[in-house]
Amino acid sequence: MAEVTFLNAFSLTVEIANTIRDRILKGEYGIGERIKENQIAEELRVSRTPVREAIKQLEAEGLIESIPNRGSFCLGFTNQDINDVYAVRTAVEVLAVKWTVNKITDEEIKSLQDEYELMEFYTKKKDGKRVMEINKRFHEIIYDASRSRFLIQILKSYQEYVHQTRKVTVYCNDNLDAILGEHYEIYLAIKERNENKAADKILVHLLNSQARAEVGMKKIRNCEEQSIN
């Protein structure tokens, strides 16, 4: 993991909590993985006290669970977290795609097509990691084409949470064909500049993604529980 330097002693606990939270959301700590105070303190070159306080803060947020006589463990996302993320995504991204349909340029539509074709290529190879990267770029083209700085800021402010749900969604390669098909429908509706169709297609995609994420999360938890036990 990259070295982190802290300059403001007053906000040390907050900065450490931000660092650990970021790692949890990026999946650098797996679900069920032990969060070791001494290891983090040594790595970040701080005492264990602010690390301990940071872990307490993240425990209050529901990202970490501390078990007496066992230690602190990464909880990652819960089903409620997934529900919350998709509730926000549905509200904001449906609006974004409506605005995009009326403002997107031919060049941006070509970029969507390029990303879709890349997604198709890596779907055939069953390369979930690359599909996830392309998925992110595909949606960012839609965000940027909305031409709303405020909407783009909202969408990009929770991308780490979205990234985590995408990781869970592509946990099973069996999902890749469905994900590809849904992105094709979104691309086609935008290319046709059909606002209602585009909104419907992205809504279907997000509802299906939420269902896949919940199933994927259950599979990951089962694997992590077996590894712990």
In a domain, residue 50? The reply is: yes
pLDDT grade for 203, boundaries at 50, 70 and 90? very high
What sign results for the dihedral spanned by CA atoms 54, 35, 44, 17? negative
Work out the percent of the chain whose per-residue pLDDT is above 90.
59
Question: 171-192, pLDDT tens digit by residue?
Answer: 567 889 999 999 999 999 999 9
Question: What is the percent of the chain where pLDDT is above 70?
Answer: 87
Residue 135 lies in a domain: yes
- Give the distance, in angstroms, between the CA of residue 191 and the centroid of all CA atoms in the same chain: 26
Is it the case that residue 125 has pLDDT exceeding 90?
Answer: yes
- Cβ atoms of 100 and 62 closer than 8 Å: no
Q: Which domain holds residue 220?
A: 79-227
Closest CA to 63 of 18, 121, 93: 18
Residue 42 lies in a domain: yes
CB-based burial label for 143 (10 Å; 0-12, 13-18, 19+): buried
Give the tokens for residue 112: 């969507």
Shared domain for 92 and 159, answered yes or no, is yes
**Domain presence at residue 26:** yes
**Residue 4 counted as domain residue:** no
Name residues whose C-beta falls within 8 Å of residue 66's C-beta, 6 or more positions apart in sequence: 55, 56, 59, 72, 73
Residue 53 located in a structural domain: yes
Greatest pairwise CA separation for the chain in angstroms: 60
What is the phi/psi pair of residue 105, to 5°? -90, 165
On whether residue 1 sits in a domain, the answer given is no
pLDDT at 228 over 60: no
For residues 60 and 85, membership in a common domain is answered with: no
Which CATH number do you get for residue 23? 1.10.10.10
Q: pLDDT (tens digit, 9 = 90+) per residue, 42-96?
A: 999 999 999 999 999 999 888 899 999 899 999 877 778 888 889 999 999 999 9
Q: What's the CA gap between 74 and 65, in Å, rounded?
A: 6
Q: What is the CATH number of the domain that holds 98?
A: 1.20.120.530
Structure-token pair, residue 223:
């694997």
